[in-house]
Chain A
Amino acid sequence: MAMPVLICDDSILARKQVRKSLPESFDAEVQTAGNGLEALQILRSQEIGLVFLDLTMPELDGIGVLEAIRAEAIDCFVIVISADIQPEMQKRVMELGALAFIQKPVSDEKLGIILKQYGLI
């Protein structure tokens, strides 16, 4: 069965980059969100297995989304894909329960390693 996947980024290009980097062997049903609020609406109303989450976004940023996921005990894996690569930020997202941190721009290789590592492909 296909895994429901949410790609959340305010950039059209970044969303396309993630979608294109998903390996063919990964059976995913992909939805997208343009900011954190849109993402939360989807996460609250649907079962999502995996979220690819940007950090710097309008309306609600990625940290806000991670905090809400934790507070509301929403059951999903989160992989953060961000340009904000400061070690302190990476530490913070991992503490908030993210599975992994990928430095932008995303690539097949970077994503493949993480998905394999966590048995998602």
Chain B
Amino acid sequence: MSPLGFSIEQRDCLQEIINVAMGLASDKLARFLNTFVHLQVPSIALVGATAIPDEFEHRYQDAEATLVSQGFFGNEGVRGEAIVLYQMDNAHRISALLGYEPGDVSEIEMLTDISSILTTTFLNGLAAQIENSLSYSAPRVLSSRHSNVADVLKATSFHWEHALKVDISYQLIDHSFNCDMILLIPGEAVSNIKTILDRILEAY
């Protein structure tokens, strides 16, 4: 059993569902940016939500970062908050690719668009595989250059119990672009997820 009690089979099942959802999201991103994305297997981990700020503080310590957050809710008590984190130097590369000037006001709009594409395509792909359907709130930009990433994450994650951390790395053909996606989910969602995974596993 891994932390929070996923069996090897449940973990493998969740990983594959996420891989398929990521494939859909990457395809959308590639079309949006008109480029090719080298798909890598995202590493996933289920952690306590309180551990999230510390985990990301280190990675984003010295870098300007932007967080875009979007709430989602569906059937069977599936709900949560999806956060996409970017380092701004990465974001500048993408905005250059799309023809924006660095620091452009619309650069934040661009990140909101990209986040929304990634989040909704990913989550729709995930929902389809578990025979659910999701609704979304409008994306919110939680932080830009002047705030500390850990503080913002703390403020967002404190009322959630668990977080499904999905480390995504997109290698674009001539630009490297990394971002992290975090799905914050309430406590009961973990046992719901396990029930859903077991149902899928039973079918095979």
Interface residues of A (CB under 8 A from B): 10-14, 16-17, 20, 55-58, 82-86, 88-89, 104-105
**B15, B19, B37, B203 interface centre (most CB from chain A within 10 Å):** B19
Cβ of B204 and Cβ of A104 under 8 Å apart? no
Contact A104 B23 (CB under 8 A): yes
Chain B residues touching A, majority SS? helix
B22 at the interface (CB under 8 A from A): yes
Return 23 A-B CB contacts under 8 Å, by A number: A11-B12, A11-B19, A13-B16, A13-B200, A14-B16, A16-B204, A17-B204, A55-B39, A56-B19, A56-B40, A57-B41, A82-B23, A83-B22, A84-B23, A85-B23, A85-B24, A85-B27, A86-B37, A86-B39, A88-B36, A89-B36, A104-B23, A105-B20
| Residues of B with C-beta under 8 A to A14 | 16
B17, chain A: closest CB distance, angstroms: 8
Chain B's nearest CB lies how many Å from the CB of A84? Answer: 5
Q: Which residues of A contact B203 (CB under 8 A)?
A: 20
What is the interface of chain B, defined by CB distance below 8 A to chain A? Answer: 9, 12-13, 15-16, 19-20, 22-24, 26-27, 30, 36-37, 39-41, 129, 200-201, 203-204
- Overall SS of chain A's interface: loop
Q: Are B30 and A86 in contact (CB under 8 A)?
A: yes
How far is B41's CA from A13's CA once the two chains are assembled, in angstroms?
15
* Chain A residues, CB < 8 A from B12: 11-13
Across the interface, name the chain A residue whose C-beta is closest to B22. A83
**A83-B22, A88-B36, A105-B20 in contact; A13/B27 too (CB < 8 A)?**
no
List the A side residues contacting B37 at CB < 8 Å: 86
- When C-beta atoms are compared, the residue in chain A nearest to B23 turns out to be A83
Q: How far does the Cβ of B191 sit from chain A's closest Cβ, in whole Å?
A: 20
* Cα–Cα distance between A10 and B41 once the two chains are bound (Å): 10
20 more A-B residue pairs beyond the given contacts A12-B9, A16-B204, with a C-beta to C-beta distance below 8 A: A11-B16, A11-B19, A13-B13, A13-B200, A13-B204, A14-B16, A20-B203, A56-B19, A56-B40, A56-B41, A58-B41, A83-B22, A83-B24, A84-B39, A85-B24, A86-B26, A86-B39, A88-B30, A88-B36, A105-B20
